[in-house]
A = this chain, B = another copy of it.
Amino acid sequence: MSDPAWADAVGFVAGTLTTLAFLPQVLKTWRTRSARDLSLAMLLSFCAGVVLWLVYGVMIGQWPIILPNIVTLVLAGSILVFKLRESPPDGGDRESRRSP
C-alpha cells in the first residue's frame, strides 16, 4: 500500500483526471451555448481556489502543482467567463422555468 512509485502513479492519474475533467464541460458549454445549470458561486469559488493553488505552487516552487493548475484555470476560467456573459446585468442567475 505504501510503495512510493505506485502512489506517484495513482497521484499522477488522479491529477490528470481532475485537471482535464473541465475540458468536456467547456466543449459542452460551447456547443449548447448554455451555462444556466452551472452555479456561478461554484465557478467563482473554484477559480479563486485554483488561483490560490497556483500561488501556493509558486511559493513552494513546485511545478507539478503549478502546471496542472494553469490548465485547470484556463478551462474553468473560460466556463466562468461564459457564465458571466450569460448572466443578466443584475448579477443573478436566471431561474425562469423552462419547457421540458
B59 touches A38 (CB 8 A): no
A residues 1-19 near B (Cβ < 8 Å) are 1-4, 6-7, 10-11, 13-19
A62 to chain B, nearest CB (A): 10
Stoichiometry, copies per complex: 2
A58: chain B residues within 8 A (beta carbon): 1
B38 touches A37 (CB 8 A): yes
Q: How large is the interface on A (under 10, 10 to 19, 20 to 34, 35 or more residues)?
A: 35 or more
B18 touches A53 (CB 8 A): yes
Cβ of A50 under 8 Å from chain B: yes
Cross-interface CB contact of A98 among B13, B19, B56, B98, cutoff 8 Å:
B98
Cross-interface CB contact of A17 among B14, B38, B52, B60, cutoff 8 Å:
B52
